[in-house]
Structure 1
Amino acid sequence: MAVRTDAAVPIQAIVGIKPSPHNPSSMRPHQRPPTLGIVAAVAYVIAAFVPYFVLEAPAGVLEFYYAAGLAGPQVLSLFAFVAIVLFAAGRQQRTEPELVAGLTLILGLVLTVVTLHWAVSVPSNVILEAGDVAWFEHHRWVTLLVSAVIPVASLWYARELDVL
């Protein structure tokens, strides 16, 4: 009996390995955008609270830093937590994905605009009072950049669902 070599058989089928549902390569294309949204929202929360754990500044500096603008990132983190829940519900199809894409787009845009307002409202003397910490000068801009990923993930999600 001759072995046929012209048929392509994946090695996984030969050894009996099934693709993992947690492997990104086996992830369905419509799950990637909400996954990015979840990662971005978690990153926003981390970015918002990092100064509390890392920065050794005089008392009151962080309170003044976060009090600039309409709302600081620690308050806006509530929006990020809602985005995490929405993206996860859409990713697992517990909520209509089209609805999730729209809600997270609005939520992400509001989060980004209010974070932008906060970032430009922080007085420069507050940054100087924090001490000689180079990363703290860029913290608000990194937080803004991370917040912008949420509406980008929402737009990608809507596009993947053929809503846009």
Structure 2
Amino acid sequence: MNSLIQALLVALLLLPVGAAAQDDAGPFAQGSVRLSLIAGFAEVNGESLFIGGAGLGYYLIDGLEVGAEGEYWFASDPSISKFSPNVRYVLYFVPVLKPYVGALYRHTFVGGSHDDLDSLGGRAGAFWVSEGGSFFGGGVLYETAVRGCKRDCTQVLPELILSFSF
């Protein structure tokens, strides 16, 4: 998976970029709204699961977003759903690839008699902005459980992001 992320980042560097000025915040401008779609797969106890969800964000000032994501793990027993408020800062003035850093809190709702989980995390990566206002990104998410986990519940995961701004 690491080589996939590296290949995507190299490919993004080679794509043509619009002639927007470096100081133009584009989709990261104050007042912009972000909509993201979440899709993925996970394997839990030998069972393959589809993960789907959505995210919404609002830029308080150029580059600074507050938002939240929700996801549901389909066909999981027990049921699993997650809610993640977050904050992210995008270095919108950097040409071509726009680096970002962020922090999040995540509450994982686990069905049945299982305990819910709470975790804190951080993320870092970069976005490539298309001329139409959508943006694609890749990065790394670090997350560690702070409540409800009975073993080592720290994980580092790749993240791929497709977002639309309006």
* TM-score (ref. length: structure 2): 0.22
More strand by share: 2
Q: Which has the higher contact order (CA 8 A, sep 6+)?
A: 1
